[in-house]
Amino acid sequence: MAGASGWMISMRAAAPLSVCTAYYACMTEVTISARIPKVLEKELERLMREEHLEKSAALRKLLHMGLKNYRLEKALAELGEGRISLSRAAEDAGMSVWELMDEAARRGVTWVADDAIDDVPGRRRR
């Protein structure tokens, strides 16, 4: 629900924040325009039906998810190339160092010698 100041107010304050309600509660919104292929429009309509979302909410959700994935991919690529440190990569990806280490291991991103990983306390070899 929009308040008099234009801020969106969530009616379900006690419920966990979803991607969309987090954006309603935390951001001033701007309008953008983009052209997309028809096939993406069909996928967007499918998401709208499945998630019971309006078009703008579905687009915000997809944009948020895409940007999160982009930041992770970029951080892992730069980490694997040795251009940034583990802590910087985790910060850029919006994750903890441990979460990023797990994600790097899942994706086979080599950023340090395997024997060095074994020396990290609490870290299990995969």
| Residue ranges in the chain assigned as alpha helix (H) | 19-26, 38-51, 55-80, 86-93, 97-107, 114-118
Whether residues 62 and 90 fall in one domain: yes
Burial of 30: CB neighbours in 10 Å, binned 0-12, 13-18, 19+? exposed
Whether residues 81 and 112 fall in one domain: yes
On whether residue 37 sits in a domain, the answer given is: yes
- Mean pLDDT along residues 62-81: 95
On whether residue 19 sits in a domain, the answer given is: yes
Whether residues 71 and 114 fall in one domain: yes
- Mean pLDDT along residues 78-97: 94
Q: Are 53 and 62 in contact (CB under 8 A)?
A: no
Number of domains in the chain: 2
User: Could you tell me which residue, 51 or 5, shows the higher pLDDT?
Assistant: 51
Whether residues 21 and 62 fall in one domain: no
pLDDT band at 120 (very low <50, low <70, confident <90, very high): low
Positive or negative CA dihedral for 86, 92, 96, 101? negative
Whether residues 46 and 19 fall in one domain: no
Domain assignment of residue 87, given as a range: 31-118
Burial of 2: CB neighbours in 10 Å, binned 0-12, 13-18, 19+? exposed
| End-to-end C-alpha distance for the chain, whole angstroms | 48
Q: What is the CA radius of gyration of the chain?
A: 19
pLDDT of residue 58: 94
pTM, 2 dp: 0.65
- Mean pLDDT along residues 91-103: 95
On whether residue 39 sits in a domain, the answer given is: yes
pLDDT per residue over 20-48, tens digit each?
A: 555 555 568 888 898 999 999 999 999 99
